[in-house]
Amino acid sequence: MTPDQPVLTAHRAGLVGCRSCGRVWPVDRETCDRCGADLVPPDRRGLQKVWAWWLAGLIMYVPANLFPMMRTQTFAGLQGSTEATILEGVVELIHYGNYDIAIIVFVASVIVPIAKFLSIAWLARVAGKPATVDQAQTRLKIYEVVEFIGRWSMIDVFVVAILSALVQLGFVASIHPGPAAVSFALSVAFTMLSAQSFDPRLIWRGLPLRSRTDDTGQD
């Protein structure tokens, strides 16, 4: 297949791909004979799920940043308890000079989720829209990255969970998860669901019938 050739997609070939195992079947098939999954033709209506999970994740991301992530209690609260949100924690880490950890936390807890939100929103927005093959491949790459990296956003939640479990020194010090931990975990989960709800086949739906070079050739 030369770049000049229009891309033959399954849809154009009158086929439908199984989302479980990837085998293509004729459009009129209902179930995949290989894995038994239902064969669903790509449909922009499925994007509703993406948007719904995305919105839920976005909503949960707000309290995740406003509420304290973790509550540190020393001397049974006599010395005072410290509550820190994600960003406060980052600032505090910078304050203490732990720049590397601060960067990790910042990337995992702030940059990655926000990038995910932006990526999913953009993918859902442009899904099914006309695109060149290159554009479609870029979208596919982004989708794969989002899919892959989504679970790593949970690193912050894991840290809190592990610390809460480990640092229970009774009177001296104890760490409890704050309300933001739950919110953040939910936010990450929702965005992962959102990313999973996204049907990557839609990326290919918007490909032009003629190659881009044809268009340029006509010009």
Partner 1 sequence: MTDQPPPPRPASPARKTAVRAAQAGINIIWLVPIIALVVTLGIAWNAYAGRGEVIEVEFTDATGVTPGETALRFREITVGQVEGVSFTADLSRVVVRIRVDKDVAPYIDSDAAFWIVRPQVTAQGVTRLDTVLTGSFIEGYWDATVSAPQDRFVGQERPPLVRSDTPGTWVTLAMENADGIGEGAPVLYRGVQVGRMENLRLADTEDQVIADAFIEAPHDKRLTTATVFWDTSGFSLSLGASGVSLNVNSLSSVLQGGVAFDTLVSGGQPVEPGHVFALQPDEDTARNDILASDNAEPLRIAMLIDDSLRGLEKGADVQFQGLRVGQVTDLAVTADQETDKIRQVVTMAISPFRLGLPAEATPEDALAFLQEAVADGLRARVASAGFLGTSLMVELVDIPDAAPALIDTGAQPNPIIPSVPGDLEDFTASAQGFLSRIGNLPLEEVLRSATDMMNSVTAIASSEDTRAIPESLRQTLDQARGAATDIGGMARELREADTAANLARLVDEAAAAAEAVKLAAADAPEMVDSIDAAAAAVEEFNFSEISAQAEGILADLRAMLGSEDAEQLPRNLSDTLEAASGLLNDLRDGGAVGSLNDALDSASTAADQVAASVQRLPQLIGRLEATAARADSVLASYGDRSAFNTEAVNMLRELRRATEAFGSLARLIERNPRAFILGR
Q: Which residues bind partner 1 (CB under 8 A)?
A: 6, 8, 11-14, 27, 41-45, 47-49, 52-53, 55-57, 59-60, 62-63, 66-67, 75, 77-80, 128, 130, 179, 183, 186, 190, 197, 205-206, 209
Cα maximum dimension of the chain: 79
Query: How far is it, in rounded angstroms, from Cα 139 to Cα 204?
Result: 10
Comparison of 107 and 213: residue with beta carbon closer to partner 1: 213
Q: Taken in order 130, 136, 138, 141, is the CA torsion positive or negative?
A: positive
Comparison of 125 and 141: residue with beta carbon closer to partner 1: 125
Comparing CA positions, the residue from 51, 6, 25, 50 lying closest to residue 198 is 50
Comparison of 174 and 183: residue with beta carbon closer to partner 1: 183
Comparison of 27 and 35: residue with beta carbon closer to partner 1: 27
Name the minimum Å distance from CB 19 to partner 1. Answer: 17
Query: How far is it, in rounded angstroms, from Cα 14 to Cα 78?
Result: 71
Name the minimum Å distance from CB 100 to partner 1. Answer: 27
Q: Is 136 helix (H, G, I), strand (E, B) or coil?
A: helix
Name the minimum Å distance from CB 55 to partner 1. Answer: 4
Each residue of 150-180: b (16+ CB within 10 Å) or e?
Answer: beebbbbbebbeebbeeeeeeeeebbbbbeb
Comparison of 5 and 148: residue with beta carbon closer to partner 1: 5
Name the minimum Å distance from CB 104 to partner 1. Answer: 26
Name the minimum Å distance from CB 191 to partner 1. Answer: 12
